[in-house]
Amino acid sequence: MKISKPNNIWNHDNLQLHVEPLKKNHTSIVFTNGVFDILHAGHVHYLQETAALADFFIVGLNSDNSVQRLDKSPARPLQSQESRAAVLMALACVDAVVIFDEDTPKEIIEIITPNVLVKGGDYQIDQIVGADWVKKHGGQVTTINFLPGFSTTGIEKKIIDAFHL
């Protein structure tokens, strides 16, 4: 019989309650964040590489309101935050998802204080929100290169072009 993992979709209000037991057990935590609107092979590669850096992997997920403020495109997000969180939780490498409504994950990074903070290779360490906090508390900050040719924006453009929208 297959054992399913718990529904670890958290929010800002209950985040501390979930993180405290991990810290008490000295579980190493890795954190990254993003929109993850149309999950593709590039995302999966990035998430698997990130998960390999610690014992417990938390993904910060921009809420629908947060995505709309990011200036992606007027139609984004294409999927609701609940749908995006469910898809992320279906991946074996993801242990928990925390949805945040702020423009950046700074507050949740400070609550989690991960051992490892990760962003994509298009960021410099000094551009990563929360990097100073994590380093100040003894953690590491790193980047992971993307698989070339994969981006949600690129997929969105292909769809628009294919249907002449």
Residue 79 phi/psi, 5-degree rounding, is: -120, 150
Write out the residue range of the structural domain in which residue 144 sits: 9-162
Q: Is residue 1 part of a domain?
A: no
Q: Is residue 148 part of a domain?
A: yes
**Count of domains in the chain?**
1
Averaged pLDDT, groups of 10, the chain, 165 residues long: 67 92 96 93 95 97 92 80 95 96 96 97 91 98 87 78 76
Q: Is residue 2 part of a domain?
A: no
**C-alpha–C-alpha distance, residues 128 and 141, integer Å:** 8
pLDDT for the residue numbered 2? 44
Q: Is residue 3 part of a domain?
A: no
Residue 132 phi/psi, 5-degree rounding, is: -60, -45
Q: Is residue 74 part of a domain?
A: yes
Q: Is residue 38 part of a domain?
A: yes
Cβ proximity of 66 and 103 under 8 Å: yes
* pLDDT tens profile 121-161: 888 999 999 999 999 999 999 999 988 777 777 777 788 78
What is the helix, strand, coil percentage profile of the chain, to 5? 40, 20, 45
Q: Is residue 89 part of a domain?
A: yes
CATH number at residue 41: 3.40.50.620
Cβ proximity of 61 and 85 under 8 Å: yes
Q: Is residue 28 part of a domain?
A: yes
pLDDT for the residue numbered 165? 62
Residue 147 phi/psi, 5-degree rounding, is: -75, 130
pLDDT for the residue numbered 5? 63
